[in-house]
């Protein structure tokens, strides 16, 4: 299963790339996997979007999904 991972802002700085492929069954597993691999994400609050839709709870992922990690931002 291949999930396309997109990152932005400070998250990209921590991970070191803005686009990669990952494997995870759901969004909670993906987040836990990324925090283990990149401990700098542990205390960072970020939103998760699956296929361009913000999610607020654990969401199943399937082959070909795109997951974006979005750092906090403010309007002006």
For the residues 46-56, what does the mean pLDDT come to? 96
Q: Is the pLDDT of residue 33 over 70?
A: yes
Cβ partners under 8 Å of residue 28, min gap 6: 58
Helix (H, G, I), strand (E, B) or coil at 23: coil
pLDDT at 65: 98
Residue spans of the domains in the chain: they are 3-70
Cβ partners under 8 Å of residue 18, min gap 6: 6, 7, 8, 12
List 70's β-bridge partners, or say none. Answer: 47
pTM: 0.91
> How is residue 67 written in tokens?
């997951």
Q: How many helices (H) and strands (E) does the chain have?
A: 2, 5
**Domain covering 3-70 in this structure, CATH number:** 3.10.20.30
């Amino acid at each position: 299963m291949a999930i396309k991972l997109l990152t932005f802002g400070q998250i990209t700085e921590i991970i070191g790339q803005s686009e990669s492929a990952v494997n995870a069954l759901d969004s909670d597993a993906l987040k836990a996997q990324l925090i283990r691999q990149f401990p700098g994400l542990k205390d960072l609050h970020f939103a998760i979007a699956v296929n361009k839709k913000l999610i607020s709870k654990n969401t199943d992922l399937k082959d070909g999904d795109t997951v974006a990690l979005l750092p906090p931002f403010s309007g002006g």
